[in-house]
Structure 1
């Protein structure tokens, strides 16, 4: 599997791999997205929307990490500010991993074949 392939998604070509990809992608977007039949019918579109959503969340986490100390220093005790920084770091790492996963899953949904390099 390509680096970053999510463990929740079966390998391309395996039985029900696309269904596992769709389930995983829906877990990354707001629950209301499940109401849109077009996203079930066209998993490539769902992957695109998941990439947009995850990317926006990642950018928000990065912005929060950069600014939380300055913006909340007068309103929170130092330990709360540091806990917020740590939460932003964990969330940023989770979202960066999800973004990598969305990218490789989207490629597989478009028919791209990953070939390992030596």
Structure 2
């Protein structure tokens, strides 16, 4: 079964046995642990995917804002090398979050019934 680039390795291809179970497990790892307390999200993976999409988007926004303000906010409290290390962490986390958002979007599209076809 074809899955597009960016499909999470932990999620089985759509239509395969237990693919939705693997999607739920992966999506729950992408959101705060408290989301596990809501049975409705396990019963309705599309709702979980929607919430995960919003949560990851908020994390991306927070990382961007954090990066923009880190040097100013921390300059009186951390040495320059530590500030640069914090900025490096943001530089790594930002792209990771963007990739995660793309993967969540793919899983959500599959949960909505979209079929992926290879491009020639």
Q: What is the TM-score with the length of structure 2 in the denominator?
A: 0.94
Aligned residue in 2 for 1:17: 19
Residue number among 55, 59, 65 corresponding to 1:53 in the alignment: 55
Distance 2:31 2:16 in 1: 24
Structure 1 vs Structure 2 CA RMSD: 0.9
Q: Deviation at 1:48?
A: 0.4
Residue number among 25, 32, 35 corresponding to 1:30 in the alignment: 32
Q: What is the TM-score with the length of structure 1 in the denominator?
A: 0.95
Structure 1's unaligned 5+ residue stretches are none
Structure 2's unaligned 5+ residue stretches are none
Write out the 4+ residue segments of structure 1 that deviate beyond 3 Å after TM superposition.
none
Aligned residue in 2 for 1:78: 80
Q: Deviation at 1:37?
A: 1.1
Distance 2:30 2:77 in 1: 32
Aligned residue in 1 for 2:109: 107
